[in-house]
Structure 1
């Protein structure tokens, strides 16, 4: 099921950066996200809820666009 919040995402394991491209076009890099968290994110049905309650709550980020 497509997300109403997340358009696409990419994980860079060498730097532990999770890049989220939102449906709005905004791009954020979430920093020091462990592989385990990314694996959980991939498997959840609600990407937006997981993003809000787990990733945004725990990890610093940089707004790219």
Structure 2
């Protein structure tokens, strides 16, 4: 999955597959997480959020099933 670098103190890059509704988030700490069943509008809102880490904490973590891929 192609990742787009983002400007964030915690998040390094974000990848998204609209067909699979899968969001991948890579952190500066080295962790890579996959979130399932994420709608395209949530991905778009994440990418436009002024704080990527804050958006993740408030609207994605705990709302969508996830698993670590590495880290």
- TM bracket (short chain): over 0.9
Structure that is richer in helix per residue: 1
2:27 alignment counterpart: 22
In the alignment, structure 2 segments of 5+ residues that lack a partner are 1-5
1:4 aligns with 2:9: yes
Q: Distance in 1 between matches of 2:49 and 2:7?
A: 12
Number of residues of Structure 1 aligned to a counterpart in Structure 2: 65
3-state SS in 2 of match to 1:20: strand
Q: Return the match for 2:57 from 48, 52, 64.
A: 52
Q: CA RMSD in A?
A: 1.2
Greater relative contact order, per chain length (Cα 8 Å cut-off, separation 6+) = 1
1:63 alignment counterpart: 68
